[in-house]
Amino acid sequence: MNKEIGRRWICFHNHRKISGDGRSMPFITLNLSYKMNNILAKIIPLIVLGLFALMIFYISTRLRIHFNLPSKSIVTISVATILAAAVVSIFWAVKSTSNFIGALSVAGGYILVFSFYLLVFLLLTQLLQSIVKLPILTSGWIAVGLAFTPTIIGAVQASYFEVRELTLRMPKLQNKLDVMVISDVHLGHHRGKDYLEKIVGEANKRNPDIILLAGDLMDAEVALFSEILRPLLDFKAPAYYVSGNHEKAIDEQKAIKLIAENGVRILNNKVADTLGIQLVGLDYMNPDENTFDLHPSDNKQTIKEVLSQMNWEKHKPIILMQHSPVGIKYAKDAGVDLVVAGHTHAGQVFPFTYLARLIYDFNKGLHKSGNTTIFVSQGAGTFVSRMRLGTQNEINLLRLVPER
């Protein structure tokens, strides 16, 4: 239980800019035409497929050399079959309620990450061979052993979550307000009802005034049962939810119905006047008509459009809850004081943590853009692979205090 509670990380933030333009990390902005977005949506999977094929070719070639395997074609076919099966099981599990398929998908996630690290260490040992003349078999076993190490550590890291606390000073706030942020639990084959019970229990121990569920509560049809979500009824504070991209990938309407039946208020494109704040919730949608997103929504509305049409009392603090930390400029223009989001997982597994920094302007933690503060949670769960390396499962308690 101590690991689940984790360390309590407390910091103070006085509404200062992280950098001159309000950004703390480099960001690639792709503001493109609708036609170009469609082209990119087709090209990127082809690039990924090409890199996947190169990985298969290189790993199978090096394994054959290191371990003196006789047949190149058999080794290549074997590696390709294992990796392809891992990918298929992950996608298959989204729409499956079978525990067996779920177990295959979890194993498939471990295999994919192990294969990536094996690729890295095979490359490094090949470079090492040009400097230090190790026996070819020994260097092969070194690569395999080194690939297992981060895989095992990552699996252990993903088995628990931490509770992290931050204190934020907020203008217009009259009384202190404790906000529990829970994002990206990913109930499904990676974790189920027992994990949700632990999250609810740890949230209740902090006595928050309000609980925000910022999307991706579930990611597979196996979680679309009221019994799985029953722990939500045990929240001691009012709870609000907005949809994420994974609910849309399974059955969003059924997910919303079940979540509402278990005591959580749905706040998709709505405003709640509560506890001295204006709480705004957005459905999962694209930021605007032109910006390219790796996880595009089929929602015809956009953040730009919806925020421009919303009415709220601007003399009260405005907290915006949305799943993905995109379209922040529209929140800033609308006078939002605090944006709460998740979605990024902070890259989840090293070295993809660095890729996430390039993709997302606001990747994790606290940021500032103009007068708008942005908080991005790393999320309470995992997707694709039940692993965390260089990141941590977390739920977040934001202690909001008046700025005086």
- pLDDT under 50: residue ranges of the chain: 1-34
pLDDT the model gives residue 290: 79
Q: Given the structure tokens 């991209």, which residue do they identify?
A: 245
pLDDT the model gives residue 403: 83
If 0-12 CB within 10 Å is exposed, 13-18 middle and 19+ buried, where does residue 28 land? exposed
CATH superfamily label, 8-24+163-402 = Metallo-dependent phosphatases (3.60.21.10)
Name all contacts of 27-35 with Cβ < 8 Å and 24+ positions apart.
27/358, 27/359, 27/360, 27/361, 28/358, 28/359, 29/291, 29/361, 30/291, 30/292, 31/290, 31/291, 31/292, 32/290, 32/291, 32/292, 33/290, 34/289, 34/290
The stretches of 130-190 forming alpha helices (DSSP H) are 136-157
* 287-320: pLDDT as tens digits: 888 776 777 777 788 999 999 888 888 889 999 9
Q: Quick one: tokens of 343? A: 């979605």
In 307-402, beta strands by DSSP E: 318-321, 338-341, 365-369, 372-376, 394-402
pLDDT the model gives residue 277: 94
34-66 vs 136-157: helix crossing angle, rounded to 10: 130
The answer to whether the CB of 378 falls within 8 A of the CB of 364 is yes
pLDDT the model gives residue 300: 83
Handedness of CA 19, 363, 404, 316 (dihedral sign): positive
What is d(CA 259, CA 262) in angstroms, rounded to the nearest whole number?
5
* 132-153: pLDDT as tens digits: 888 899 999 999 999 999 999 9
β-bridge mates for residue 273, sequence order? 278
pLDDT the model gives residue 129: 83
What is d(CA 273, CA 280) in angstroms, rounded to the nearest whole number?
9
Output the CA–CA distances (angstroms, integers) from residue 305 to 134, 331, 396, in the order listed. 62, 11, 29
Q: Quick one: tokens of 86? A: 């891992």
Amino acid identity at 299: N
Phi, psi (deg, nearest 5) at residue 306: -65, -45
136-157 vs 99-129: helix crossing angle, rounded to 10: 140
pLDDT the model gives residue 404: 74
H or E, element range at 278: strand 277-281
β-bridge mates for residue 366, sequence order? 375
* 234-250: pLDDT as tens digits: 999 999 999 999 999 89
pLDDT the model gives residue 15: 33
Q: Given the structure tokens 């297992």, which residue do they identify?
A: 148
* Cα–Cα–Cα angle for 84, 45, 85, rounded to 5 degrees: 10
Q: Read off the pTM.
A: 0.86
Q: Range(s) for CATH 3.60.21.10 in the chain? A: 8-24+163-402
Phi, psi (deg, nearest 5) at residue 177: -145, 125
